[in-house]
Structures are given as structure tokens and as C-alpha cells.
Structure 1
Amino acid sequence: MNPKQERRVIAQIIEELTLFLLFHGYTEFRIDFQSDEKQEIYVIDVPHMREELIKRIQTQIDQPREEAFEQTYFELLGELDSKEDLDLLGIFIDELVVKHTEDSVTLTLIRKK
């Protein structure tokens, strides 16, 4: 992908995560983004996330990255208006790490360059 498309993918991934949380009734969360020459890191902190939603996110995102399909599917990110939107997101993510604390859940999504 060219640099302009890469920036659009980053914005669409953030939008996808935001829409997913809003659709599921979360009105308090934080999304941090970091990028360097090796990877992009998306960190999402959600207070009191329901366990069934955590498992669903893991199932939908924690799948093999499909770089060959990225060019085709990146335009679909953020365009769907349903609770199932994270199905496409797994195509773009290399690794998902879930960390539980007493009062929140931190999801770290890593996308290698």
C-alpha cells in the first residue's frame, strides 16, 4: 500500500474499534496509537469490559493476518453498521494481547509493517 492508503487503514482501524465499543454500549474507553518503522500498536483500555465481549474480540481478531487481502478489504473497514464489524479487522492485525486488571481490560493490537 502507498503511504496515503496506510494512513487511511490506521484511521479505519481506530474507527472500527471505536464503533464496535459504542455499538456494545461502552461510553468510556481510551485508544492509544503508536507507530515506528517496524510496527503499529493500538492500545485500547476499557473499564469493566464484559468477559463474553472479550472472548468475542479474541475470536474475531486473533486469526492469521491476510496481507494479500488488505488492499481489497481496507475500504470496507468502518463502513459496516453492525456489531460484527471486527470480523474484517483480523485481516489487518498480526497479534492481539489481552490484559485484565481489577477494574479494566487492555487490548493491544499489533500490526507489523
Structure 2
Amino acid sequence: MNHEIKKISKIIDELSTFCLLHGAKLMNMSVENNKDHFKIILEMDNLDYSNKKVSRLEKLLNCPRQAEMEEFYWELTGESDHDSELSIVGMMVDKADIVFEENSLKLTLYRYK
């Protein structure tokens, strides 16, 4: 379970870095540790992003979870300034819901136990 908590922390770190790098002025995050899953909700305003970039983000975060890749690469998340690390986050979560309206973005990520 200790590694599971560290993985959640790395996901949060990567998402926070992503928001700040893209001009978010206000960011709210919550993490729920439920019986069968973790749920991370991230809301941000004034994001310097476009619909095209949100579409790419959605593809990165909704790739199938890959436990084998995750086991080798999860420790690398949060260590670089590149969006490519969001693909690692995508491999670490089971589902991502994204809502983008008027430069406000809401991400809801689920990681099943």
C-alpha cells in the first residue's frame, strides 16, 4: 500500500506542475481514498489552453492502464517539464473525465485498487 500512496502523490505532483506551467491562476484539488479506488479531482481557472490541446490531454490521460509500464516508470513522474509525462499518468489511472469551458478545466481521475 505504501507504493500506492507514493504513486498517487506522483500523479498529484504531475498534475499540479501541468496546471502551473499552463498559467492556472486558481487551482483546487481533492483526493478521495475510497474502498475500491482513489479519486483525484482537479479544478483550475484561467488555463492558457485550447480545445485542441484539451483533446490531446484527454487522449494522454485516457490510454489504457498499463501496470507493467507503470511499475517501471511511475517514479519518473514529476521530474520533468514535458507534457509527455502525462502519458505516464495516463498509464497509471483507469479513467479520466475532462470538462473544459471558457478556460476552466476540471479533471477527475480514477485509479482502482
TM-score by length of 2: 0.85
Written as runs of structure 1 = structure 2, the 5 A alignment for 1:92-111 is 92-100=92-100, 104-111=104-111
Whole-angstrom distance in 1 between the partners of 2:26 and 2:20: 9
Amino acid at match of 2:75: E
Q: How much identity, in percent, do the aligned residues show?
A: 27
Gaps of 5+ in 2: none
Specify the code of the residue in structure 2 equivalent to 1:12: K
SS in structure 2 at match of 1:75 = helix
Structure number with higher helix proportion? 2
Q: Which residue of 1 aligns with 2:15?
A: 17
Q: Which runs of 5+ in 1 are unaligned?
A: none
Residues 1:71 and 2:71 are matched in the alignment: yes
Number of matched residues?
111
AA in 1 matched with 2:109:
L
Secondary structure in 1 matching 2:41: strand
Q: How far 1:81 sits from its partner (Å)?
A: 2.3
Q: How does 1:82-93 map to 2 (within 5 A)?
A: 82-93=82-93
